[in-house]
Amino acid sequence: MNGIAIGAGTSLLGPSALWGEVQKPVAGVSPILAGYPPALTGMRGSHEGSYEVAHALAWRGEKPSSYEKLDEHYDLVVVGAGISGLAAAWMYRQKVGPDARILILDNHDDFGGHAKRNEFHHKGRMLLSLGGAQNLENPNSFGEASSQLLKDLGIDPDAMAAGMTEPHALSDLSVDNGMSIKTPNGHVTVGGNWLAFMHGEGDYKPAVRSLPLPKDQQDKLIELFGGDKDYLDELSLMEKYRYSKTVSYNQFLSERVGLDARSMGILNAQLLIHQGPTGWNMSVLEALASGMPGLQGMGWLGEWADRLAFGVAPKLFEIRQFADGNATVARLMVLKMIPEVAPSTQGFEDIAVSRFDYDTLDRATQSTQIRLNSTAVGVRETPDGSVEVDYVQAGKPSRITADHAVLACYNALIPHLCPELPEPQKEALRYGVKIPFVYANVLLDNGRATSQLGMTRTSCPDDAFQMITTAPPTTCGGFEPPRGPDDPVVMLMMSSPTPAQPGAGARDVFRLGRHAIYTTPFSTYEKQVRDQLQGILGAYGFDHERDIRGITVNRIPHGYAYGYFDLDDPEWPEGEAPHEIGRAQFGRISIANTDSEARPNLDGAVDAAARAINEQTRSHA
């Protein structure tokens, strides 16, 4: 009921154990759930068994010495069943025809990549939440490829907006979002719209005075939020710009504003969840562009720009969400390519409540197959003009061939999969470091305590999970969200494990965050979840031992695509940035992932897929 902790011993296995034995079922998991990954609890995301073979290859250069050559040849093999990989397969079908033979390999036990679905069943109800990729940002402004994909899948952004049963802070910037500060006697939660408060809007002064902080720190926060002081008044406009590009936001907050570490944490919690690092790794300009306060305190021009931006942004910034996040997009693509997975499902209208039959994903009778629990370890062109793909599934090394290959996996793995790539391209692929996150979903027996809290989201700067929120209450896809405080509810808890280290580079702290994820056991995450929810909700009658009915922890050690930082990265000429060099076509092999676009959005993933398929169909028709 409290999640299933899976042992960490497999991370120590040698090569013979990794590809010498057939993997055994996980003990303690019911046969029904074992065949249905969305409903599994405990440690999910980058789960045990999904990464060991890839780590052996990337860390130690180890891979099988021999492979069974299967009698399988495909028109296209895609490595990675995330949004990019699924979109690449769909676009190839659209160009070549539905009879094209396509195989999609993925090392996880579920498809979707970061767009994972978390499903709970309690009191006769199904409850959903997202295990990674959250939303569609400004879908009505998507480019041609992404807009066409939404049309192909029947996704209507306007219908998504209408499906929200109540205002929710994850998708509406004007909705109240609280601030919860830890004290020796539990958390103090101050309600209101803190995104507005940080820009001098609303009753920000009494809200700040309600925080358990020393008065001098309250004074400084009020001064920062109000925008009454120009912290760089001795600098010219050009000097202010240079300062904002070369000085970290936290250094600005410390030296110019006078905030201490705890007060800075209130602002850093926002940056951690939305961007990945703290203000030590973001320039002042980057932090301001991310919505942090301070722009209005840089003279009349900054104040005018801040008021204009904050006044207009909530009205123009469209966020559309499904109950399971972008997992719905992945599921709709799978349904389109493999209708047998849910033959009675219509599509957009009922996709949220559809149960997929995972046994149908990899049937040879289908033109498109998805082979899960399969880690690619080698991809190369052959002298006869085809591509060989080596992979390991359930401890068994196998080899297949294809006319084309699309690598929709992480950039950092590609040099190990394709050592024949030019050295400058491999160096470029190694440059970025993906940004780690942890998303925990917690099933509560009822929503009484969360209802009394009075808001759908609150920031928690002193806790392991810097933001908690109720799951998106949308009826899109036929889902029936909780309707009252007596209904069970899912709490989504979001964490960035990237540490605050002044002077350390962004890529270095992202590696530290990733290491923290891999070395943190489920029991630690469970304790963090219980302690934090008890501290915030305990005043409203919440009892974690009684009310928590399930925990799913989604580890995302390789999360957001690296998008470059002012303090660490130069400004490359167009076409010469690492992500642009790294994504170059290599004969019958193309690359499609958000890393290749240097942006973590869904439309970035789809744009990458469109580029890769255009390369392959144009060059090798």
d(CA 407, CA 418): 10
Q: 240-280: per-residue pLDDT in tens?
A: 999 999 999 999 999 999 999 999 999 999 999 999 999 99
275 vs 166 pLDDT, higher one = 275
Percent of the chain at pLDDT exceeding 70: 91
At 95-116, the pLDDT tens digits run: 999 999 999 999 999 999 999 9
The pLDDT assigned to 309 comes to 53
Q: What is the mean pLDDT of residues 391-402?
A: 97
User: Whole-number mean pLDDT of the chain?
Assistant: 91
* Angle CA 597–602–605, to nearest 5: 40
Q: Find the mean pLDDT for residues 355-380.
A: 98
Model confidence at 91: pLDDT above 80: yes
Predicted local confidence at residue 21, as pLDDT? 47
The pTM (predicted TM-score) of the whole model is 0.93
Res. 14 pLDDT band, cuts 50 70 90: low
Residues 125-160 have pLDDT tens digits of 999 999 999 999 999 999 999 999 999 999 999 998
- How far is the C-alpha of 109 from the C-alpha of 112, rounded, in Å? 10
The whole-number pLDDT of residue 235 equals 93
Rounded mean pLDDT, 576-583: 99
Return d(Cα 328, Cα 602) in angstroms, integer.
Answer: 12
CA distance 47 to 307: 44
**Alpha-carbon span 154 to 220, nearest angstrom:** 50
Residues 6+ apart with CB under 8 A from 105: 77, 78, 79, 80, 81, 371, 374, 375, 376, 389, 391
Domain boundaries, the chain: 49-112+324-432+565-619, 211-316
* Ranges 26-35, 176-185, 498-507, 582-591: which has the least confidence: 26-35
**How confident is the model over 161-181, as a mean pLDDT?**
85
pLDDT at 305 > cutoff 70? no
Q: What is the pLDDT of residues 463-503, one digit of tens each?
A: 999 999 999 999 999 999 999 999 999 999 999 999 999 99
Instruction: Tell whether the model's pLDDT for residue 213 goes beyond 70.
Output: yes
Question: Which pLDDT belongs to residue 310?
Answer: 53
Pairing relationship of beta strands 178-183 and 117-122 according to DSSP bridges: unpaired
Report pLDDT digits (tens) over 524-561: 999 999 999 999 999 999 999 999 999 999 999 999 99
**What pLDDT is attached to residue 27?**
42
Cβ-based neighbours of 247, under 8 Å, separated by 6 or more: 283, 284
Q: What is the mean pLDDT of residues 578-603?
A: 98
| Higher per-residue pLDDT: 316 or 294 | 294
Determine whether domain 49-112+324-432+565-619 maps to CATH 3.50.50.60.
yes
Q: Say how many residues make up the chain.
A: 621
Q: Mean of the pLDDT values across residues 368-373?
A: 98
Instruction: Note whether 338 and 360 are within 8 A (CB).
Output: yes
- Which residue pairs, CB below 8 angstroms and at least 24 apart, start in 17-26? 18/52, 18/53, 18/56, 18/392, 18/395, 19/53, 19/64, 19/392, 19/395, 19/396, 19/397, 20/395, 21/395, 22/394, 22/395, 22/396, 23/49, 23/373, 23/394, 23/395
Burial class of residue 343 in the structure, from the number of CB atoms within 10 Å of its CB (0-12 exposed, 13-18 middle, 19+ buried): exposed
Q: Where in 330-454 does DSSP place strands (E)? A: 368-371, 374-381, 387-393, 396-407, 435-444
Closest CA to 595 of 565, 559, 566: 559
User: Which parts of 445-547 are beta strand (E)?
Assistant: 457-459, 467-470, 489-495
The pLDDT score that the predictor gives to residue 28 is 42
Of the candidate ranges 11-25, 338-352, 423-437, the one whose mean pLDDT is the lowest: 11-25
The pLDDT value given to residue 239: 93
| 34, pLDDT greater than 90 | no
User: Is 568 a residue whose pLDDT tops 90?
Assistant: yes
| Backbone dihedral angles phi then psi of residue 506, each to the nearest 5 degrees | -60, -45
Res 17: pLDDT: 61
409, 79 Cβ separation under 8 angstroms: yes
Which residue, among 8, 553, 564, has the nearest Cα to 277 in the 3D structure? 564
The pLDDT value recorded for residue 620 is 62
- pLDDT value at residue 12: 41
pLDDT at 232 over 90: yes
pLDDT band at 3 (very low <50, low <70, confident <90, very high): very low
Taking the C-alpha atoms of residue 152 and residue 127, their distance in angstroms, rounded to an integer, is 27
**Per-residue confidence (pLDDT) for residue 29, from 0 to 100:** 46
How far apart, in whole angstroms, are the C-alpha atoms of residue 144 and residue 248?
A: 36
Q: Does residue 5 register a pLDDT over 60?
A: no
Tokens of 478: 């036929």
371-401 as b/e, with b when 16 or more CB fall inside 10 Å? bbbbbbbbbbbeeeebbbbbbbbebbbbbbb
Residue of 211, 233, 222, 284 whose CA lies nearest to 259: 222
pLDDT top residue among 168 and 431: 431
Q: Is residue 2 over pLDDT 70?
A: no
Residue 18 has pLDDT above 80, yes or no: no
Q: In this predicted structure, what is the pLDDT of residue 302?
A: 58
Whether the CB-CB separation of 429 and 582 falls below 8 Å is answered with yes
